[in-house]
Amino acid sequence: MPFRRRRELVCRQAVALMTDYLDGALSARDRARLEEHLAECPHCHEYLAQIQATVVAAGRVEPDDLPPAALEELVSLYREWRTG
């Protein structure tokens, strides 16, 4: 049986694997191929960092403040529900 080289990833493929990679959902083989590609490709390395930065930015999205009147209304409803 002839020896077969491990198939290397091209950038488009590497990008497609990145969400699975960050979730730890890649096979050991694919993880190794991706990490090898990332070590050699500064663009994909930056792209992954940008995806991670996107996740960081999303994590900083705060919920809106609750207007006091809205809270009051819900607390009134709560009283009704508890006594009803």
Buried (b) or exposed (e) across 63-81, using 16+ Cβ within 10 A?
Answer: eeeeeeeeeeeeeeeeeee
Nearer to other proteins, 15 or 35 (CB): 15
Please report the DSSP string for 29-79 in residue order. Answer: HHHHHHHHHHHH-HHHHHHHHHHHHHHHHHHT-PPPPPPHHHHHHHHHHHH
Nearer to other proteins, 16 or 32 (CB): 16
Least CB distance to other proteins at residue 29 (A): 18
Binding site for other proteins (CB under 8 A): 10-13, 15-16, 18-20, 23, 25, 42-44, 46-47, 49-66, 70-71, 74-75, 77-79, 81-82
Least CB distance to other proteins at residue 23 (A): 6
Nearer to other proteins, 32 or 52 (CB): 52
